[in-house]
Structure 1
Amino acid sequence: MQSRLSKTLGHTAREARLRAGLTQETVAERLDLTQEVYGRIERGLLLPSVITVRRLSLVLHVSADQLLGIDSSLTHSPSSGRDSPQVRRLIRAVRELSASRLRTLSLLIAHFRRRD
């Protein structure tokens, strides 16, 4: 099972990296890994730690579910396909945020939730 998971994660990471127009070297730097180690992840030879999977999802702008090959239809609510255009635009904008801006947005949301 671990081998299949490693290969799924590696394939998905590679596809996302290519879509983003990034090199292995760039992604490795952003993850604070050597290029050799990141290359082993993409080839499915190394299963990264949970922390690295999370950082990888942020760097490549894909969900951890996608990296792990989890069927998104099992994890999303039935109403997600009926979201308003405003909600879909907001979701797209959030997916494009850098890790630091995403953390800032998360803090703002937590602040407003406490005030309600």
Structure 2
Amino acid sequence: MRAARMRAGLTQAEIAESVGIVPEVFGRMERGKMLPSLPTLFRLCVALRSGPHELMGFAPVASLPQAAQLEVPPELAPTPEMRRLLRLLGRLQGLQLKLILRLVMAFIAEPKRPRRERRDRG
């Protein structure tokens, strides 16, 4: 965020005023001690003419060193069945999705054990 502010030639106070926050809050954001809300991040992007990836300190994946690039473990990679299911789910409407969600939850829920009846001891 600091690099974008310096490139724009603005002070912390000027940026803070332009996005409607106090300079102290902007200073904490710039030092990485605080994250902006989405509306504030949007206003910062407009004021600094930068994308959120730059303001939040994210580097493009291509620029990361090879050792830092992450690979998806095979057990977490989507299977052809999962991709097909996701494509089909994308075609459903609200109520249909709610029904499917209830069905899935019923499949993965732990089965309830029947209660043992209490016997009167007399």
Q: Could you tell me the TM-score, scaled by structure 2's length? A: 0.47
Q: Could you tell me the TM-score, scaled by structure 1's length? A: 0.49
**Larger relative helix fraction:** 1
